Amino acid sequence: MPLPRLQQLQARKLRTQIDYLKKNSPFYRRKLKEAGIAASDIRTVADIARLPFTTKDELRESQLKKPPLGEHAAVPLDQVIRFHSSSGTTGRPSYVGITERDRKRWIEIVARCYWSEGVRPTSIVIMGFGIGMFVGGLPLANAIEAIGATFVPVGTGASDRLIATIQDLKADIITCTPSYASYLADYAREKMGIDPKTLGIKRILCGAEPGGGVPGIRERIEELWGAVVTEATGNADVVTVYAAECPQRTGNHFLAGDFVIPEIIDPDSGESLPIEDGVEGEIVFTHIERDCVPLLRFRSRDRVVVWNKPCRCRRSGFRMRIVGRTDDMLILRGVNVFPSAIKDVVSQMRPNTTGEIQILLDQPGPRVEPPLKIQVEHGTAVDNLEALKRYVEENLKNKLIFSPAVELVPPGTLPRFEMKAKLIRKLYEEQRP
């Protein structure tokens, strides 16, 4: 849909949603009353900036006050058909519920994303994400099946079986985290004596953490598997997947405009930023068609860069890439540094490195006194470690403008992850009694 028409549709749906929130959610009724905004004040999509933000902390509090879903939930529990939980970073997980209508909307949007990445009715897709309560489980299954493709629910924790299943069923697609795609290739080669290139995988659809769209990391996975890697982006509170690459691979197309209004804001001032080539900021979401746990200007803490020049695939709207979480961003003498960017630079130095890193923090971030301690795995055939250490340090310093203190460790020393990779090791938490 051309953008001006989509925006008219969004403004109309937003008015309806505001009335819905006022009527059905005590949490939003209070918020909207405090802000003094009514549905009739919304004339165009830009008026969304007049509405109040919602933070993850508020949602958590609302959930503690009225378990299981919170005061922001807008339907009685008998209409909820499924609970999911998001991998909470602190203590209690947060829960998300969906109604039957929400389920259908999620399927539609996730299916658009997978279609954009090349899933077709003839595809056989191996599930390399955990299924469990994670939003990246069942909703992906539903969407892949809705396309008419074949879904193979292997999940994580069974790498032998996953590789054997690819062979037995002649699967041609894997969907998983980029860390797991690398891990699986190493596993097949080293533990099973199988060259992953011979398995016939044509596409690897990555998500749940940055990496699938990062050049150094993407190329390594493609080399290992002889497959095309694309990336998609989602959010447990918004919709499992809302943006995905097309074959042009010039950023992830935002494909959920009829379901959620995205905004890019300056995370410090909260000011709206224009969605134009190269603009970077925090992405904020407002559901305009969500029954169960709707969000109003939800601060995702995901920092993204956007592009709005037309794409050759003719999908309208903008493209984006997550550059990091505003909450795992480190600040060194005023310079913002994202762990995923460090991993990217180190990955580009293969085969001198394996691409694996771990940042060591003595104290909680985001502010870190330089130099930043980073463990980097060197490659197998490196003889001058001292020269490599200097080379890695200089490269990081030149590209990301901070002072690193690199410690080289042998290949295979750093932990590998099946789900989201942990790039930061918090030494200060381990030292506690």
Contact residues for Zn ion (CB under 5 A)? Answer: 246, 248, 311, 313, 315
Q: One-letter amino acid identity for 160?
A: D
Do residues 45 and 10 touch, judged by C-beta distance below 8 A? yes
Residue 243 vs 376, nearer CB to Zn ion = 243
CB of 247 to Zn ion, least distance (A): 7
Residue 246 vs 388, nearer CB to Zn ion = 246
Residue 264 vs 311, nearer CB to Zn ion = 311
Sign of the torsion angle spanned by Cα atoms 123, 126, 131, 135 = negative
Helix 178-192 to helix 159-169 angle, to the nearest 10 degrees? 90
CB of 147 to Zn ion, least distance (A): 18
> What's the rounded Cα separation, in Å, for the pair 320 and 183?
26
Dihedrals φ, ψ of 136, to 5°? -85, 20
CB of 318 to Zn ion, least distance (A): 11
**Residue (of 55, 56, 63, 51) closest to 25 by Cα position:** 63
Sign of the torsion angle spanned by Cα atoms 415, 419, 423, 427 = negative
> What's the rounded Cα separation, in Å, for the pair 281 and 264?
6
Query: Which residues lie below 8 Å from residue 85, measured CB to CB, with a gap of 6+?
Result: 93, 94, 95, 96, 133, 134
CB of 311 to Zn ion, least distance (A): 3
Residue 2 vs 76, nearer CB to Zn ion = 2
CB of 253 to Zn ion, least distance (A): 6
CB of 414 to Zn ion, least distance (A): 35
Residue 137 vs 317, nearer CB to Zn ion = 317
Sign of the torsion angle spanned by Cα atoms 120, 123, 128, 132 = positive
CB of 342 to Zn ion, least distance (A): 29
- Structure letter (DSSP) for residue 149: P
- Structure letter (DSSP) for residue 127: E
CB of 250 to Zn ion, least distance (A): 7
Residue 238 vs 311, nearer CB to Zn ion = 311
Distance from first CA to last CA of the chain, Å, rounded? 58
Do residues 388 and 352 touch, judged by C-beta distance below 8 A? yes
Helix 26-35 to helix 3-24 angle, to the nearest 10 degrees? 110
CB of 116 to Zn ion, least distance (A): 7
Q: What's the full length of the chain, in residues?
A: 433
> What's the rounded Cα separation, in Å, for the pair 100 and 271?
35
Residue 248 vs 363, nearer CB to Zn ion = 248
CB of 256 to Zn ion, least distance (A): 15
**Residue (of 209, 235, 210, 234) closest to 56 by Cα position:** 235
Q: How far is CA 336 from CA 239, 262, 366, 422, in A?
A: 28, 24, 9, 19
Residue 232 vs 246, nearer CB to Zn ion = 246
Residue 315 vs 425, nearer CB to Zn ion = 315
Residue 167 vs 248, nearer CB to Zn ion = 248
